[in-house]
Structures are given as C-alpha cells and as structure tokens.
A and B are shown apart, each in its own frame.
Chain A
C-alpha cells in the first residue's frame, strides 16, 4: 500500500537508483515527443564500451542531429498516425491483440495494491508503455512510499514488463518511420536484457 513503512528502510543501492533513472529515461522518451531541452539532455548522454553504453551513445549521437520537428513527426507516425500509428504501445494490445483487456485490469489491480494511483490529470490507460515504465521507476526508487523490495519488483517485472516490452522495444528498433526512436528502442531492449538476467539472480 501507499503507506509502506518508511522507517528502517535501507538507503537505495547505487545500482537501483541508476536502474530507476534508466526506466525514467525510457518513460520520458516514450511519453511524448521531446522538447528542445529533452533533446539537449539526451545529447549529453554518454556510454562506456558495454552494449548498453554503446546503445546510449548512439541514442545521444542521434539526438544531436534530430530537430524537434523531426522527433515530433516520428512520434506521431509511430504512435498516433492516421487512425493508427505503426505501433500500439499498450500492454494489453501486445498481450492479447486488443486494448483494455485483462492485462490492463491485472495491472490496475497490482498498482492499486502497491499504492500507485493514476493522476486525475490524465485519462490515459495505465498500460501505456511509458506509464508502466514510470510506475516501475517510482516503485524502485521509492517515489510511492518505501522502495519496493527486489522480490516484489521481480513479480511486477515479470508480469507487466518482461511479458511484452522486449517485443515492443524490438518493434521500435525495427520501425520503418523511426530513426530517433529506433535508437531509444535499442536502449530499452539492451537494458531489459540486463534486467532479465539480473532478476534471475533474485
């Protein structure tokens, strides 16, 4: 629940804080087209020689050469389109082929149980890829009360992220209308590969 105990909580481990940041980066990137300030921030990313570092470096390089208008058009073509964009970024759609099916209901139930409420400012369904990533980011770093323990994180991850997002990020990487978002898709795919293996160790 939202009032998970805050006392006696250990400080967030460095790697968990950084995982939360990566989830937040992906959530921000997918929630709406980037503003100029977002693109400038992405351009400042750098990475080491690891696959994730390389994916981030590529994303940063592409952000440098992407005008706001281009990113906006890509976002529109990918997710909005004429009646339907190239991708439908909702968990329920990926898992069942339809929107607002059982996976959304299960997600709502789990979020309620974890004390995460949808803002009154949005009527957006909770299973939008960016909404799930933002929620998980907050569960990891304690934006919704005490940080969620790894065991509980694993349950949420398997149900609501691992179950479809790797496919979504691969689709994003391969999407025909996307250059900027393809690069973000690579970041997501590589990061979730790390998460998959890391959760096997929990």
Chain B
C-alpha cells in the first residue's frame, strides 16, 4: 500500500475521531448567517473584516 495514501487516511480518521467533523457540521450552521467570506469570492479576511474599535486601538499601540 502506498505509504502516502496511508498517511492521508490516518490523518482523515484522526480528525474524524477527534470530533472535528461532527463539530464542523454544527459550525456550518453557525456561520451560515454570518458575514463570512464565501468560497469563490476571492477576498481574504476582508468581507467580514471591517474597521472597528480594535483597529483604532492598534494604531494607538503602534505609535
């Protein structure tokens, strides 16, 4: 058996056993209504990432 394929399967099984898949299914619901960047909108942190108070604070600290 291809060692690489084994590793991929190991990793996949590990993530499933760790609960990330069950949990992730819920997270899908939780982010559905949020302003998350949707796949295919080639924009990064931006859509959801507005200038807010922490930005103002950042520049205060950066002085």
Query: How many residues does chain B have at the interface if contact means C-beta atoms less than 8 Å apart?
Result: 51
Residue pairs across A and B with Cβ atoms less than 8 A apart, 7 shown, are: A53-B23, A56-B26, A88-B61, A128-B45, A130-B49, A143-B44, A194-B15
Using a CB-CB cutoff of 8 Å, which residues 19-60 of chain B contact chain A? 19-55, 57-58, 60
CB distance from B29 to the nearest CB of A (A): 6
A27 touches B48 (CB 8 A): yes
B45 touches A134 (CB 8 A): yes
**Quick one: given A2-B42, A21-B31, A44-B26, are A194 and B57 in contact (CB under 8 Å)?**
no
Q: How large is the interface on A (under 10, 10 to 19, 20 to 34, 35 or more residues)?
A: 35 or more
B11 touches A202 (CB 8 A): yes
Interface status of A144 (Cβ within 8 A of chain B): yes
A122 touches B51 (CB 8 A): yes
In the complex, A86→B47 CA distance in Å?
26
Interface status of A102 (Cβ within 8 A of chain B): no
Interface residue from B20, B36, B62 paired with A191 (Cβ < 8 Å):
B20
Interface status of B1 (Cβ within 8 A of chain A): no
Interface residue from B23, B36, B51, B61 paired with A47 (Cβ < 8 Å):
B23
Interface status of A162 (Cβ within 8 A of chain B): no
Question: Chain A: residues with CB nearer than 8 A to chain B?
Answer: 2, 13-15, 17-19, 21-22, 24-25, 27-28, 31-32, 37-38, 40-42, 44-53, 56, 60, 76, 79-81, 83-85, 88-90, 99-100, 111, 115-126, 128, 130-132, 134-135, 137-138, 141-145, 150, 191, 194, 197-198, 201-202
B19 touches A53 (CB 8 A): yes
Question: Chain B: residues with CB nearer than 8 A to chain A?
Answer: 7, 10-12, 14-55, 57-58, 60-62
A135 touches B42 (CB 8 A): no
CB distance from A201 to the nearest CB of B (A): 4
| From B14, B15, B54, residue with most partner A Cβ within 10 Å | B54
A116 touches B54 (CB 8 A): no
**Quick one: given A22-B24, A53-B23, are A15 and B44 in contact (CB under 8 Å)?**
no
In the complex, A202→B15 CA distance in Å?
12
In the complex, A122→B18 CA distance in Å?
36
**Quick one: given A56-B23, A79-B54, are A31 and B44 in contact (CB under 8 Å)?**
no
